[in-house]
Structure 1
Amino acid sequence: MELHDVWFVLIAVLWTGYFFLEGFDFGVGVLTGLLARDRTEKRVLINTIGPVWDGNEVWLLSAGGATFAAFPEWYATLFSGFYLPLLLILVCLIVRGVAFEYRAKRPEENWQRNWETAIFWTSLIPAFLWGVAFGNIVHGVKIDKSFEYVGTLGDLFNPYAILGGLVTLSLFTFHGTVFVGLKTVGDIRERARGLSLQVGPVAAVLALVFLSWTQVDNGDGRSLTAMIVAVVALVAALVAARAGREGWAFALSGLTIVAAVAMLFLTLFPNVMPSSLNEDWSLTVTNASSSPYTLKIMTWCAGIATPIVLLYQGWTYWVFRKRIGTHHIAADISH
């Protein structure tokens, strides 16, 4: 296997890790507007991801940096062609981070409510737009012979991409409900389980249609296997959630996301950004990659840094593994 193939796989792993971790993170943010009945319950939901949300975004930074270094042509075409949607995602992530940090800085109710509203929308919008972006990457966009995107913003919001956005939004919300069920106690835990049984079937139907469409367009035997794993895992997650087995439900919903993202990258390879105008104008792992020397240096750096990142992030989740409930929220910061 050539180094550019290795780095395609590594970038796929980074995006998979990001969607697995930030998926429930975004889902919890959406649930602050759907599940929480009062300010105290919103605080409980925020606290379930409070210690980990910023660490989850390390995966995004790593995926973006790896794409820039390993496949500069891919990075240039992607970030110039998808400039406005990706800029909106970036703005949402910035505002979302500020909202987490600033919400409790002042006691006024309006101040806190406004930041809570910001958390909801800046979780929902990226959860949708990431699906739109990857839908376009996999399905193909208007790239000319100079490897430049020549479409419009409206071209990015085609039926396939919009369906992809709805899939990521619903899957992340379902992933968030089972995470809340795993991390909370009391009434909010039971209501999270009930909501998961409502959101899950919707996500399953949307995912089945989207993945089937993807398979028909560009799939092979490997992508079909990944699709079957994703669908079976999602159904099993629903069964586990109904039985009150939150740990299994969370693991299986995570497996659904992992298998679905794997399927997208399997159908994409050896392209990294197909052209819908002419197959010969598509960006591939060969014509979009950096030099072998650059990839070799990156491989050594990744081999040293990756275990360290995994260790400290795993330690964070272990330290903050306990469940929380409304009785853990101090009265002076719950309103």
Structure 2
Amino acid sequence: MRRVLLVCELEEDGKEYLSKNYDLLMAGAATGECDELTEVALAELMASHQPHILLVNSSPATARVLAASDCLELVICARGTPNNVDLNYCRDKGLLLCSTPSRNANSVAEFTIGLMMAATRQIPQSMEAIRDHTIVLEGDPLDGGSKDVTWIHSDLPYIPYERYNSLEIAGATLGLVGLGFIGGLVAEKAKALGMEILVYDPYQNKEALASKGYRLVEFQELIEGSDVISLHAKETEQTRHIINTEVFKTMKPSAYLINTARGSLVNYDDLRQALKSRQIAGAAVDVFPYEPLRSNDPLINTPNLTMTPHIAGASRNVVQHHTRMVMRSIHDFENGEKPKFAVF
């Protein structure tokens, strides 16, 4: 019986199939552990179990790890991009490598829309003003409440309805830098909300986008014409710091920047200065140049910056999605076919 080493999360039906049809060993995330396995720990498991198939998430599948099993034929990385797998080793040894592309695409797209709403409607700022008592009054709650609920009082430093008067996204222009799978989903959702869609992506076809109601434009036209700019480009030398001081200078002063893609796309020092000087209205980011942030990072206290700790892809449905793709790859492999989700 062929052997499988499973060290990533998988739905129970997937585990059941593997346990019935293979000599299955589960460890790490597959058994509910939070921490990913170290290179040493994973190499030891590979050496002792000698699996034909390795199912991994973000644990380091280095050359040392992969070489520890003389029987290895198939590596499945339950991530969109298998950055933790030694691709050169897999190629050199003729190993089949599969991934789970876009497993969290809808999760990230929904989160992007959520960040856009939070930033443009100043939801975090207004919530914080209540929690730190800036716009609340001392004393006990009024019995029965007031007749006209307006959150206006002479003892408050400002009127919230006026301070947080903000942008409706219906009718606003969304500029998407990159239109891969996630960017495409964001475009669909934003259009359904009534937004106009501009796209900058050298690999897209103008006529194809026009048929969806999107407009393919040059980078500078997108920067100057968008009310909200959302980043969905890949991390390359060409896209590093594609958003910088020069870009902020030509954005609308009322515009917002959203980044749920990669921290390297934005020069965060430039972003901080643009927000402090009110060069742009605000920003919302889920990714950073390094993670986790340190307590003394100046970004933490930057005004009009909504931040989340790289959780855009964290939905309960992601494991369901990648289980479906993992099992498809295994079934294709069993049938002697090239898996649909093969990297090579």
After TM superposition, the score normalised by the length of structure 1 is: 0.24
Task: Flag the structure with more relative contact order, 1 or 2, with Cα contacts below 8 A and sequence separation at least 6.
Answer: 1
Name the structure with the higher helix share: 1
Larger radius of gyration between Structure 1 and Structure 2 = 2
Name the structure with the higher strand share: 2
After TM superposition, the score normalised by the length of structure 2 is: 0.24
